[in-house]
A = this chain, B = another copy of it.
């Protein structure tokens, strides 16, 4: 028999939403947090923007309309999964304030929403440029590239803002975990 969770006790997950420029460090920090949350007894689901696109948004491009549709789908899924009890980590550029506000509005009726702005400056992102995308964008070979030829609207009041220029991924992940503890969303106690 599968146990009903806690005999009917209320359990809710949360959504930890990373927004920021391409190569800012969103996915790297998120990946560092997954095992930390699992060690604290949580079921974790990492919805990475690039991966989710292949499952939910094949055919959508990078116009504002298509980006908004993609983010709305990720947000809808994140809200369902968090409501079911998981810690959901989203890493997606999500450049538009309105789309992020919509995401929050889908999640908050059931679960806390924690927005983390990975605010690494574009100069540093372009220096890293792991996929060579900034070079192409600056050369005009990619249209609608966030921060170059498409806007990035920085969050005004994120739950946390990080600059990864001087920080290791582990240090950034530790800062996020500390914030989650402060918000009473995770325990500092390791259970497995």
Residues of A within 8 A of B (CB): 1-9, 11-14, 40-43, 45, 47, 55-56, 58-59, 69, 72-73, 76-77, 80-86, 88, 184-185, 187, 191-192
Say yes or no: A3 contacts B1, CB within 8 Å. no
**Min CB–CB distance A38 → chain B (angstroms):** 9
User: Contacting A45 at CB < 8 Å: which of B3, B84, B192?
Assistant: B84
Say yes or no: B192 contacts A8, CB within 8 Å. yes
The chain B residue with its CB closest to the CB of A112 is B2
Say yes or no: B86 contacts A83, CB within 8 Å. yes
User: Contacting A6 at CB < 8 Å: which of B3, B12, B69, B81?
Assistant: B3
User: Contacting A5 at CB < 8 Å: which of B1, B2, B41?
Assistant: B41
Query: Which residues on B sit within 8 Å (CB–CB) of A69?
Result: 58
Say yes or no: A4 contacts B187, CB within 8 Å. yes
**Min CB–CB distance A174 → chain B (angstroms):** 19
Q: List 11 A-B contacts (CB under 8 A).
A: A1-B187, A2-B12, A2-B14, A4-B40, A43-B84, A43-B85, A45-B80, A45-B83, A55-B73, A56-B56, A85-B86
Query: Which residues on B sit within 8 Å (CB–CB) of A76?
Result: 55-56
Known: A3-B9, A45-B84, A84-B84. 19 other contacts (CB 8 A): A2-B11, A2-B12, A3-B6, A4-B42, A5-B41, A5-B85, A7-B191, A8-B41, A43-B83, A43-B84, A45-B80, A47-B80, A55-B73, A56-B56, A56-B76, A77-B77, A80-B81, A81-B81, A81-B84
Query: Which residues on B sit within 8 Å (CB–CB) of A13?
Result: 84
Query: Which residues on B sit within 8 Å (CB–CB) of A59?
Result: 59
